[in-house]
Structure 1
Amino acid sequence: MSGEPRRIAHLDMDAFFASVELLEHPELKGLPVVVGGRRPVATVPGQPYPRLKDYAGRGVATTATYEARAFGVHSGMGLMKAAALAPEAILLPAHFEAYARVSRAFKAAVAEVAPLIEDRGIDEIYLDLTDVPGTSRELGLRLKAAVRQATGLSCSIGITPNKLLSKLASELEKPDGLTILGLEDLPARIWPLPCRAINGIGPKAAAKLEGLHLRTIGELARADPAGLVEHFGRSYGAWLHEAAHGRDDRPLTLSREPKSISRETTFERDLHAKQDREALSRILLDLCERLAQDLARKGVLAGSVGIKLRFEDFQTVTRDQTLPAPIADAERLREAARTCLKRVDLTRKLRLLGVRAGALVQADHANSGATRPVEVPPPGLFDPMDLT
């Protein structure tokens, strides 16, 4: 390794799932398109593609083109809410096998330019460019050209001295952006951004910072470090101060194999499996749908599924099931979670429910069709909280 300052790139594919769909449907380029949903939507005569306004169900958006995002639609949003924002947007089903294939293609292409890669999921990676010959701009353009030649798609790249700043930078000029920053650029380019833009500051921390009148990264950088420690604890408070100043010495993790992914929620009030069956059914369905999206984004399948329950007395129990074949869709996740639930005494009220996908394998390494979208029957027809 040279003695030069680090050059770390964050490469993020632009609206990846939607962009892959547009490769198959080039006539939709420039139009608001949303990918997601569990049920096929019938088209009307003279209309070759279904519209978001015709969707009915509890599905969520997997992704959206930038034209749809201009209406306020974003990934994870319920499709019914999205339909209220962009009723004429086109709705397409997800094709995860195609996304995994294109993901492999763009990663192989950039590895020819910069082989030191940290894989962050199906559509984003970090690259260490420190010892790669060429200026940062030259390398950024080479990487973008390699991605486009291999896939026909665009990506956005941020190149800075560290991972934290590179992820921020890659978002600044989307789509098809190339942003190169040094620490001297923080006041002009980073500090005006909201605190929430920093990866690691979630909604709760952002709300707490807002309550302390710390709305931008610059305001956070100027905050008293002792005050941050007082309000957020020693470790997280110190990290907030460092992050606001763009300091991050984390190395790239060149071999990253996540062991599990989970989703859980704490209820606003304690719920009972029988009296609140419908509410719990909806919650479990939502958790499984979000977990399925997480698996898709990371390009992995679950070899096991587990549940986590916390009762009103704060006792926590878990149950797990090893699966005969890896899965990734919401219905099969819910089927497995339901099997685990039957092994728990549910006579007490619950305050938390969680679902975990474990024994993860890469989707392209598994001979499974589980990534295909599958129809999920509404709660009531298939009740995951059925105790019989």
Structure 2
Amino acid sequence: MNNPIRRIAHLDMDAFYASVELLRYPELLGKAVVIGGRSVHQPVMREDGTREFAKLRDYVGRGVITTSTYEARALGVFSAMGMMKAAQLAPEAVLLPVDFDSYRHYSRLFKKAVASIAPLIEDRGIDEIYIDLSEHDEETRALATRIKTAVSEATGLSCSIGVAPNKLLAKICSDLEKPNGLTIIGMDDVSMRIWPLPARKINGIGPKAAEKLTTLGILTVGDLAKADAGLLQDHFGRSYSAWLGNVAQGIDDRPVSTSSEPKSISRETTFERDLHARQDREKLSGIFTSLCARVADDLHRKGYVGRTIGIKLRYADFSTVTRDVTLASSTADAATIRQAAGECLRRVPLEQRLRLLGVRVGALSKPGSMDDMQEEIQGELFLAQPSDDRA
């Protein structure tokens, strides 16, 4: 029996957070709206029944943009941009506070709607999923359209879908006709539809790699596909250059992973002002301990233990470092997490001021599972080793 032709869809909700807010405030449709910042005032109802909204020009303090409507994006305001810079570009944009409870509610709704039609889903976050459509007999465009309709009926929101032979191409395609788009390609379409795109459109080519490619005269995916393999290896190393060569040809063998098990649990916080490791030691220590306690609480609440403890630091210049350590056995104990995270912290430079601190626990398992018991046995064996060769 022949294996079915792979049909992988990537579904991305259109400007998700902003779109949820527009359901709540329909009078903002068609306007530049920004969501994010700290301590943003809720809209106020006037006596005439209309609402008064905060404006970006009036925002004071630290913070970044969480998301923006397409009208705000047209003015140059995008997610992760600093609030002060965004205010210069779009001072009259409406500013709304973040409401993650509402976004999670609509996330559950759209995923449930998709699962009722195509249950083989890989959850990639609050607003995007991969869907394996390979086993469905229905024609691709009709099936994808049915999924889009189901999402719209369940949430009142639009989504964009890309369908391709693999996850790499599907993700690229879902962004080609936003908003409310539907793009379907096969491997024969790669040279026509994918090669003209900027190389940075490939998920996995970050800003630094894109900048290095540009210095080599490699601007598009097509340029990358035709680049000399030796040149790429000289500048990017054997592993990454081999990956670049494959993805430029549209090759990606990754399966759609339908497991809902989380890979890690983390907590992080961005400070109101940059903190210094020595001058603000007491404050940083309290924040650090609180993050470890909150991660431990999350582990207990979700029923996990973890073996890899890590930290994340973002400096005042926005550069970021991470460190982690693997324990002999898994844990969900706050004190143990704090001690291991502290070891990681001692391995990073602390001369610069800090703007963000995070703690992560990975290599998760369920207490009493085979993985957990195996780790416990290995830990006991490790601890039981004699300190020298004496009998």
Q: CA deviation at 1:307?
A: 3.4
Any residues of structure 2 matched to 1:21-170 within 5 Å, and which?
21-41=21-41, 48-170=52-174
5+ long unaligned stretches in structure 1: 265-270, 325-335, 362-388
2:259 is aligned to: 255
Q: CA deviation at 1:322?
A: 5.9
Tell me the distance in 2 between the aligned counterparts of 1:309 and 1:152.
38
Q: CA deviation at 1:79?
A: 1.2
Q: How has the CA–CA distance of structure 1 residues 158 and 252 changed in structure 2, closer, same or farther, with 3 Å as cutoff? A: same
Percent identity between matched residues is 55
Q: How has the CA–CA distance of structure 1 residues 91 and 232 changed in structure 2, closer, same or farther, with 3 Å as cutoff? A: same
CA RMSD of aligned residues (A): 4.1
8 Å Cα contact 1:43-1:49 kept in structure 2: yes
Q: CA deviation at 1:22?
A: 1.0
SS at match of 2:54: coil
Q: CA deviation at 1:351?
A: 7.2
8 Å Cα contact 1:307-1:318 kept in structure 2: no
Structure 1 length-normalised TM: 0.72
Q: What CA deviation, in whole Å up to 9, does each residue of 1:81-140 have, x standing for no partner?
A: 111111111111111111111111111111111111111111100011111121111011
Greater gyration radius: 2
5+ long unaligned stretches in structure 2: 269-274, 315-320, 365-391
- Aligned letter for 1:105? L
1:355 is aligned to: 358
Q: How has the CA–CA distance of structure 1 residues 309 and 40 changed in structure 2, closer, same or farther, with 3 Å as cutoff? A: closer
Tell me the distance in 1 between the aligned counterparts of 2:58 and 2:168.
41
Q: CA deviation at 1:352?
A: 10
1:188 is aligned to: 192
Tell me the distance in 2 between the aligned counterparts of 1:59 and 1:4.
48
Equivalent residue for 1:228, pick from 224, 227, 232: 232
Q: How has the CA–CA distance of structure 1 residues 135 and 358 changed in structure 2, closer, same or farther, with 3 Å as cutoff? A: same
Tell me the distance in 2 between the aligned counterparts of 1:167 and 1:157.
8
- Aligned letter for 1:9? A
Tell me the distance in 1 between the aligned counterparts of 2:174 and 2:347.
47
Tell me the distance in 2 between the aligned counterparts of 1:207 and 1:114.
39
Q: CA deviation at 1:34?
A: 0.8
8 Å Cα contact 2:54-2:95 kept in structure 1: yes
Structure 2 length-normalised TM: 0.72
RCO higher in 1 or 2 (8 Å CA, sep ≥ 6)? 1
SS at match of 1:106: helix
Q: What CA deviation, in whole Å up to 9, does each residue of 1:323-375 have, x standing for no partner?
A: 88xxxxxxxxxxx99xx7699779985479762333799xxxxxxxxxxxxxx
How many pairs align?
325
Any residues of structure 2 matched to 1:287-298 within 5 Å, and which?
none
SS at match of 1:17: helix
Q: How has the CA–CA distance of structure 1 residues 42 and 146 changed in structure 2, closer, same or farther, with 3 Å as cutoff? A: closer
